[in-house]
Structure 1
Amino acid sequence: MEINDLTPAERRVWRAFVTGETVDFRDRDADGGEWGAERSVRAGVLRALLLNGPAEPGEVAALKVMGARITGELDLRYAVVEQVIRLNYCRFDETPRFAGAQLQYLNLRDSVLPGLAAARARIDGSLRLTRCRIDGQVRLGGTQIAGALFLDGAEVTGDGGPLPALALNQVSVDDDLCARGLKARGMIRLDGARIAGSVDLEEAELSHPGANVVQAEALEVGANLVARRLRATGRIDLRGARVPGRIDLLDSTLSNPDGTALRASSCVIGELWLRKGAPIEGMLNLRATEIGQLNLAPEKLPDQVRLLDLTYTFLTPHAPVEARLPMLERDDSYTPFNPHAYEQLTAAYRRTGDDTSARLVQLAKQRRHRRTLPWYGRLWGHVQDITVGYGFRPLRAGVWLLSLLALGSIAFHLHHPAPLKPGESPHFSPVFYTLDLLLPIISFGQESAFAPTGGYQTLSYVLIVTGWILATTVVTGITRTVSRQ
């Protein structure tokens, strides 16, 4: 392409390219203004510069343009571009295409685009889309970025179809993914993506009602996924993600009322923070996930959770057991009873030295299990609960025994049973006679020497049966305690 074939605006860009000088067309309005011929540059001219532009010894060529209207299609598919590309505050009439290209650095900050197609590209520096307005799809699937990916303050609106508005599947970023304040309508796809640094979605606003708003299965993050004050409408799917640092959702708003709001199943997470802000609207799914520290406020929980095979080492903040148990009662893990969830909560309380709360969780576990038993099992469970609280309230057994001992002692003191062998029977003691009836193992020689009649005989049967029940439940509780220790 000859320079004589160029418009005045294009000549400015052509001459500045050789030395990497910036050409700024924002003389009328930095935000756009009138996009007339004096600010228009054909995409073909930019392509010719980048692929076969002039060069001078000792100068570093670069394409640096601000405030221009790029007409036509900037097609650099599978091209090898050795110069920096910086097109800021520009307006693209057509979607620029970089699929399969090898670029040094691409900066489209503050520009307006109908889309961006850069799948399977390789960028040796960073890709900067800060504060861009993109009224279409951004396709970066399989792209390798040696630096960072910047989407801070960007606005991405998909085409409303089934394809993602922001396709980052299988993308590889050797630094951070910075998307603070990102506004996206449509799905953000991060399946199989690898981010060596952190992902920053703080104060982002993501919307895809009734469908996946973030789909990030098998996502790998080297450090943290920070999404404080995130506003997400739709389902966030992190199944199989690996985040060794923290997933920080403090003061976030997650809403998908007719489905799952957050699915973080089969994940490995260093810390998961779910505190402050409104309760989650929709299901919280943490099945088969390993978490080092689960920082979960009880008031953040939705009405439905799935916790089957969830494991965590620490649970914070420390809350009364009455505030934690509803989480287990809401568990909908395709099973009528999930004992593992109760064991995890018990272990968390024990690690903080709160044995009282740990025992209450175990008691709640037995009561939940009782609902799944047949009628006779439920009946026996109620007996154990009333008498000794399934062995987790041993003092209750002592109260029962003392009450029955007092009742029997008074009754038999008022009416001594007749001796079986007069003259050979020991001296009658109403206290030890009652103990003989209550304790099935210990014998004081009283029960075998005297025979009550009438109502007192019925009372003796009641004491014997009650004694067996108490003894059985106490032994069960002691056995359970020993096995725990």
Structure 2
Amino acid sequence: MERLILAVCATRTPADGRSIADKTVRADFLERLVTGQVKGLPGEIRTIHLIGASIVGELVLTGLDIGYPLTFDWCKFDQAPRLCDANLLSLSLTDSTIPGLDATGMRVRGSVSMVRVVSTETIDLRYAQIDGVLHFRECDLRSSSHAVRASQMAVRSNVSFAKTVVSGQIRMIGAQIGGAAIFRGADLHSPNDVCLQAERTEIDEGLWFDADATRRAATVEGRIILDNARVGGSILLSGVALTQPHRGSTRKRLKDRATSLQAYGLKVTRDIRCDQEFRSDGAIGLCFASVEGTVSFDTATFAPGAADTAADPSLVDLSGTSAGMVELDFAQPPATLDMTNVSARVVTDNPSTWPAVIVLDGFAYDRLSSPQPVTVRERIRWLTRGDTNYRPQPYEQLIAAYRRAGQEHEARVVGYRKQHARAKEVRGISRIWSGILWATVGYGYRTWLASVWLIGLTALGWSVFTPIGESAIAAVEKPPQFHSLVYSVDLLIPVVSLGQDSTWRFDSGARWVAWGLILSGWVLTTAVATAIARVLRQG
């Protein structure tokens, strides 16, 4: 096999050892060949392309500058090749087996391609620089710890794990990817542990876990970490199943929860799509993220809530995130949805799939939409779903959204319910005054109640003063004629004088009725003034 390599390496012809009995190639022979220490070469090496070879020993090409392609098809390495700090034109392995690869700091002017490769130990690409693509396709990458280590790696084009099975962790913290990171049809297996750790990674075109052309969706066992990553395109998790979530996050809200996706401070210039039958058995922590497009959980399915709510994995935490649109029409909702301080232009949801607990304090939006009509009473229940404490901002935000949509009646209904909820929180004199405002003017949203009170109290005074009108005592020498109806109205309206209250008095028990009407008049006037002031402030 080694003689065949010598014969063809200067002709760009592969050394095909599949029909040769002895397929053995010594690793030190390849090292001497690359470094020009083998005599009898027919010319300058154009390529090293081995087919069906069995490479024995440790292939060490550390720090070498190799200006031609290295290609291995149907080859088997008994030790992991070492390419640390090597400068390569390109590297390709197809249908081959390797016990890992040490390529820390490797520089590749072309691409690195592995197709149907079985790796039984770590592929180490830390600090590697690849001007083309990094391509894994239909590979089987295994390790008891890190299947792929690629922190601080820089790839000018795509990084692809399409249809690849990865058993162990992919660790690429701080990597820079000039194209897309593609996991279409991939299977990531790191049960109850981290399967993809990509904090501070920069991806220019997108992170794709969605189905491939054969509709084979990716599967993920373990936790994906994307803290402080930046993605120039979209993150596509459509149809993906996130199972076997991992506990042990350092984030406060996720610390005791089994978590499938953790992405604090993530920046995405397009969409995050966890839709089209996306499923998660663990918590989703997408906090303080910035998404210019849509965050979608349409038709997503989450695990049922657990008895221990503090460690419940059925959580979607979007707190502090900003997005253009948020879609929340779940197939099966999480037990808890945290929208604290979320901002979005448009939010779509469905009352039939609202989570049991929704935290809305600080949630800001321009418009709400739903595939089916949502009544204002349903929206009011939505505001307090699972949260019994009074929080004014969710009410105010819903009022503003209704007013922007021209639904003034609905806005007034929500305003009334806001004041009613607030009244339950106050104590002492404030609670008494809230009760008076509720009874007299409906907190300013039912001012017609004041007219009902005025008519009722007038009728009461009329019925009391009419039979005893002759016992009225004049307070002036030439009083006008006593009129019980006018007298009652004059008592009730403190800012207007009709000449009856200042002229006539009663010494009998009727005077208590008169004083009661005067007090009621002042209460009604103050309540109406408060209601008018509130309307002016809102205007």
Q: TM-score, normalised by structure 2?
A: 0.77
Cross-structure match for 2:70 = none
Give SS of 1:63's match.
strand
Kindly tell me: are residues 444 and 417 of structure 1, through their superposed partners in 2, closer, same or farther at Cα, counting changes over 3 Å? farther
Cross-structure match for 1:234 = 282
User: Aligned to 2:261, which of 207, 214, 218?
Assistant: 214
1:170 to 2:224 alignment: no
Q: 1:268-287, aligned counterparts within 5 Å?
A: 268-282=322-336, 284-287=337-340
Cross-structure match for 2:503 = 449
How far off is 1:250 after superposition? 1.0
Cross-structure match for 2:429 = 376
1:148–1:175 contact (8 Å) kept in structure 2: yes
**CA root-mean-square deviation:** 3.3
CA offset digits 1:189-218 (Å, max 9, x no partner): 001111001111111111316333211111
Kindly tell me: are residues 273 and 311 of structure 1, through their superposed partners in 2, closer, same or farther at Cα, counting changes over 3 Å? same
Give SS of 1:158's match.
strand
How far off is 1:337 after superposition? 3.5
1:244 to 2:276 alignment: no
2:325–2:347 contact (8 Å) kept in structure 1: yes
2:80–2:98 contact (8 Å) kept in structure 1: no
1:351 to 2:404 alignment: yes
Kindly tell me: are residues 148 and 21 of structure 1, through their superposed partners in 2, closer, same or farther at Cα, counting changes over 3 Å? farther
Cross-structure match for 2:101 = 74
How far off is 1:40 after superposition? 4.8
Cross-structure match for 1:134 = 166
Kindly tell me: are residues 147 and 346 of structure 1, through their superposed partners in 2, closer, same or farther at Cα, counting changes over 3 Å? same
Q: Give, as a single letter, the amino acid of the residue that structure 2 aligns with 1:134.
A: V
Give the helix-richer structure, 1 or 2. 1
User: Aligned to 2:381, which of 291, 316, 326?
Assistant: 326
Distance 1:51 1:302 in 2: 54
1:73–1:94 contact (8 Å) kept in structure 2: yes
Cross-structure match for 1:304 = 357
Structure 1 residues not aligned, in runs of 5+: 26-37, 54-59
Distance 1:316 1:2 in 2: 71
Cross-structure match for 1:478 = 532
Cross-structure match for 1:154 = 186
User: Aligned to 1:42, which of 67, 74, 77?
Assistant: 77
1:432 to 2:486 alignment: yes
1:254–1:262 contact (8 Å) kept in structure 2: no
1:417–1:452 contact (8 Å) kept in structure 2: no
Distance 2:376 2:180 in 1: 44
Q: Give, as a single letter, the amino acid of the residue that structure 1 aligns with 2:258.
A: A
Cross-structure match for 2:342 = 289
Kindly tell me: are residues 248 and 375 of structure 1, through their superposed partners in 2, closer, same or farther at Cα, counting changes over 3 Å? same
Cross-structure match for 1:109 = 137
CA offset digits 1:124-177 (Å, max 9, x no partner): 22111122211111111111111111112222121644xx21111111111111
Kindly tell me: are residues 353 and 18 of structure 1, through their superposed partners in 2, closer, same or farther at Cα, counting changes over 3 Å? farther
How far off is 1:450 after superposition? 2.3
How far off is 1:483 after superposition? 1.0
How far off is 1:94 after superposition? 2.0
Distance 1:158 1:79 in 2: 27
Q: Give, as a single letter, the amino acid of the residue that structure 2 aligns with 1:168.
A: A
Distance 1:7 1:159 in 2: 40
Q: Give, as a single letter, the amino acid of the residue that structure 1 aligns with 2:206.
A: D
Which deviates further from its counterpart, 398-407 or 195-204?
398-407
Distance 2:185 2:52 in 1: 22
Q: Give, as a single letter, the amino acid of the residue that structure 2 aligns with 1:193.
A: A
Distance 1:272 1:420 in 2: 73
Give SS of 2:414's match.
helix
Distance 1:217 1:446 in 2: 73
Kindly tell me: are residues 417 and 198 of structure 1, through their superposed partners in 2, closer, same or farther at Cα, counting changes over 3 Å? farther
Which deviates further from its counterpart, 194-203 or 299-308?
299-308
2:87–2:107 contact (8 Å) kept in structure 1: no
Q: Give, as a single letter, the amino acid of the residue that structure 2 aligns with 1:477.
A: A
1:77–1:97 contact (8 Å) kept in structure 2: yes
Q: Give, as a single letter, the amino acid of the residue that structure 1 aligns with 2:119.
A: F
Kindly tell me: are residues 233 and 3 of structure 1, through their superposed partners in 2, closer, same or farther at Cα, counting changes over 3 Å? farther
User: Aligned to 1:195, which of 231, 240, 248?
Assistant: 231
Distance 2:154 2:78 in 1: 21
CA offset digits 1:9-50 (Å, max 9, x no partner): 5799x9xx978999799xxxxxxxxxxxx95522769767x9
Cross-structure match for 1:418 = 471
CA offset digits 1:43-68 (Å, max 9, x no partner): 769767x9688xxxxxx966252xx2
Cross-structure match for 2:515 = 461
CA offset digits 1:288-314 (Å, max 9, x no partner): 232222223344433333333332222
Number of corresponding residues: 457
Distance 1:310 1:124 in 2: 39
Cross-structure match for 1:8 = 17
CA offset digits 1:219-269 (Å, max 9, x no partner): 110111111132122221222211011111111124464247122222221
Cross-structure match for 2:62 = none
Distance 2:47 2:381 in 1: 67
Structure 2 residues not aligned, in runs of 5+: 6-14, 31-44, 54-72, 211-216, 247-256
How far off is 1:90 after superposition? 2.8
User: Aligned to 1:253, which of 301, 315, 319?
Assistant: 301
User: Aligned to 1:265, which of 310, 319, 322?
Assistant: 319
Q: TM-score, normalised by structure 1?
A: 0.85
Distance 2:258 2:166 in 1: 21
Cross-structure match for 1:56 = none
2:153–2:176 contact (8 Å) kept in structure 1: yes
1:19–1:62 contact (8 Å) kept in structure 2: no
Which deviates further from its counterpart, 255-264 or 186-195?
255-264
1:92 to 2:127 alignment: no
Kindly tell me: are residues 126 and 11 of structure 1, through their superposed partners in 2, closer, same or farther at Cα, counting changes over 3 Å? farther
